[in-house]
Structure 1
């Protein structure tokens, strides 16, 4: 009897571990691994609903915040403080545009894809400023070609 209880407990624990949400790290950098200036690394991340992304201010002077209009309906808007880490749990499926406010015009943006996005056209239609427009064009192309960094999967 005791052996059956232990086996059942182990099975429940294993299933719980598999269903646990993932936390991944996105670094905010003055210079990326490819030499590009003012970047999120990785700049394109695919996660599942309930996963958390920790935006880490590896280099000071950066923040992470949502871009108005570039997130799914019902999603929570966030704006981290300059120079501080911010952890965000992504619940709503869709595409989220993220920017570093001080370096947005320099193209410091990222894209988070949660589950199966239903707001692709809406996200693409949001006008972008400066170099951010070019960076998002590249991120959308990578996403549509399937070249997305997956969170721990």
Structure 2
């Protein structure tokens, strides 16, 4: 899919006690538009893809800032992992009579995992999934357009 845009932060180790836990951010967006001519119709289609991945540390208590060091006593925090994706497609078909059919579909998937730690011990792991799918279709007769001109 193209054209595309990408914004990616170089991952950093946000926790000296656990260097494998990285703070990172990645955003990718892509779009593709196609047109097709048939004997009895013509089509226009556009696909869009949006992907977001992130990981970061926050304090256990939202009123305070996270300050992670190499000391076990500083290891009171939440580690967040986010993985979101949205796909959408819009298509319009016009037949020889001038009638239009418009279709739209969207698929959204969001996943967040939150891992709280106290004194460097994992106390829980909460996964928050969310998924939505929607579709719509509409027919426009050529006469509808003629009446508006």
Same fold flag (TM > 0.5): no
Pick the structure with more helix per residue: 1
TM-score (norm 2): 0.26
Larger Rg: 2
TM-score with structure 1 setting the length: 0.26
RCO higher in structure (CA 8 A, sep ≥6): 1
